[in-house]
Structures are given as C-alpha cells and as structure tokens.
Amino acid sequence: MSYFRTALLLAALTALFLVIGFLLGGEAGMLIALVFACGTNLFAYWNSDRMVLSMYGAREVDARTAPAYYGIVSQLADRAGLPMPKVYIIENDQPNAFATGRNPENAAVAATTGLLRDLSHEEIAGVMAHELSHVRNRDTLIMTVTATIAGAISMLATFALFFGGNRNNPLGLIGTILLMVLAPVAAALVQMAISRTREYSADAGGAEICGHPLWLASALEKLEAGSRRIDNRVAESNPATAHMFIVNPLHGGAVDGLFSTHPATANRVRRLREMAGVAGPWG
C-alpha cells in the first residue's frame, strides 16, 4: 500500500510539472527547467552521501573502533540480505540517525553519539533496522526522483518570474503570478507527503528486520524527547537535510502536519505497537 501511495504521489507531482511547465514556460521553458533540474539532482545522487557525511563531520568506524555498534549493523544487514554498509558516528548530543547512499552496494548508516549513549542495545538495533529498511527500499532513489521533479517545478517558477512565462496561457497575468508562487509550495507539499510515506514503510520494514517492533517504538519515543530537548546545530543550519533523519532534528517539527517531513512520532509508535499486538496510550 505504501508503494502504491508513493506511486500515486509521484504521478501527481509529474502531472503538476507537465501542466505548470506548459502554462508558465511553454514547451521550451519546460524542457530547459527539466534539463537543469535533472543535471543538478544527478550530481546530488552521485555525491550527496559524501557531502552530507562531511557536512555532519561523520567519522567512519569498524569492528575494532566501535565493536558493539558495528556488530549490531552487521547482524541486521545479514538478516536483511544486504551488503554491509559503511558505518559512521556523528559527534552530536542529539540522539538521531540516518542512512544515505545511492544503492545498497554503496550505502552508509550514521548514528549520533547521543543515540549510542542514550539508547539500549535493543533500541539501537531497532533504529539501525529502520535505516537498513530505507536502504533495502531504495528510498534514496525515490527521494532523488522526487527532488528532480520538484526542482524542475521550482525552476519553471523562477523562469516565469524573470522571463515572463508563456504569454499565451489561459490563466491571465494574475493567474500566472499566483501559479508562480503556489506551484513550488504545492510541489514541496507532495515531496513531504512522499517522505512521510517512506518513513512509515521504513518503520514497518525495520520492525521486520530486527523482529521486535517494540524496540523501534521505544527508541522513537526516546529520540523524540531528545530531539525536542537538544539542538542539532548543523541540521538547523541545513534544514534541507532534515528529512534524512529517523526523527525530525529541527525543533517544532513533531506535528504531523502539511509542512512536516516526518509523521508524528505518536502515530509511528501506535502503528508499531499494533504490529506487536500491544495496546498503547494512543491506541
């Protein structure tokens, strides 16, 4: 069901791009924006993993330098049928984690020192299973395609702003101006909806990989409390990377609203408790 919903959202985003492309820039403007957006996102697809790991000052570890953490990832990767990803630690007190890499053969997982300090062995396993589920589901590819289309829409709006757009479109001047403003917002909303859908899917996949939904549920509750209490200064300075983390690293991002890249943690915990057959305070 999550893949079906993702496909529908991608189709809606593509349709939005085609309609806006013609109305704002005509056929020529649409093609120019698409080529530019594809080029930008192709570069990001091949280099974003190194860029984001460097941005957060992540250091690679192995079985010698972080035996417990590395061992958890190794066991889970084997259970998931995945190649062993590179393993990183980020020096940050906020408990959080993310996965990156263009495919399972070039994947990396990263956890903060706050996560490794504050969570139990079982909870760390739940979090890492979630991240490996992202790798197995190729969510990086899905989000890259989404970013390509959303980026093309934004480029079309910029094209229309500076060059006047398609003067023969049926919307008129006022309609064109409104479309220039609202089109990138609509694209961003669809992009966020896809991101939230993939988080729910990764929760379910992570619970399956580690075999214990309540491990991840307990971890999410702790991560949510930690992200509210502790700043992640790098993430605050680079909010475009917030969707990568298992919980929103930005303050005020816990509400499951239109502009959130993550589902509400309470909703995620409820679903995991239902998977485990346990009634929770939100059930």
Which of 44-48, 129-133, 243-247 comes out lowest in average pLDDT?
A: 44-48
HSE-up (13 A, CA, CB side) for residue 266: 8
Whether 39 has a pLDDT exceeding 90, the answer reads: no
More confident of the two residues 283 and 94 = 94
Res 60: pLDDT: 98
Residue 75: exposure state from Cβ atoms within 10 A (0-12, 13-18, ≥19): middle
Q: What is the pLDDT of residue 165?
A: 59
Over the stretch 193-205, which tens digit does the pLDDT of each residue have? Answer: 777 888 999 999 9
If one compares 27 and 264, the residue with the highest pLDDT of the two is 264
Q: What is the pLDDT, as a whole number, of residue 29?
A: 66
Q: Taking the model in full, what pTM does it have?
A: 0.80
| d(C-alpha 76, C-alpha 216), whole Å | 13
Q: 91, 105, 123, 131: which one is catalytic? A: 131
Mean per-residue pLDDT for 161-174?
60
Instruction: Supply the mean pLDDT for the chain.
Output: 83
Least trusted range by pLDDT, from 120-124, 153-157, 174-178, 248-252: 174-178
Answer for the pair 264, 256: CB distance below 8 angstroms, yes or no: yes
Residue 130 near residue 109, CB atoms below 8 Å: no
> How far is residue 119's CA from residue 102's CA, in Å, rounded to a whole number?
28
Banded pLDDT at 179 (limits 50, 70, 90): low
Residues 152-169, mean pLDDT to the nearest whole number: 66
Q: What is the pLDDT of residue 31?
A: 77
Give me the pLDDT at residue 166, please. Answer: 59
- pLDDT over 70 (residue 269): yes
Angle at 237 between CA 234 and CA 238, to 5 degrees: 85
Per-residue confidence band for 256, with pLDDT thresholds at 50, 70 and 90: very low
- 274 carries an active-site annotation: no
Reported as a pLDDT band with limits 50, 70 and 90, residue 253 is very low
What pLDDT score was predicted for residue 162?
67
Gyration radius from the chain CA atoms = 20
For residue 51, count other CB atoms closer than 10 A to its CB.
Answer: 13
Total length of the chain: 283
Looking at residue 6, its pLDDT comes to: 67
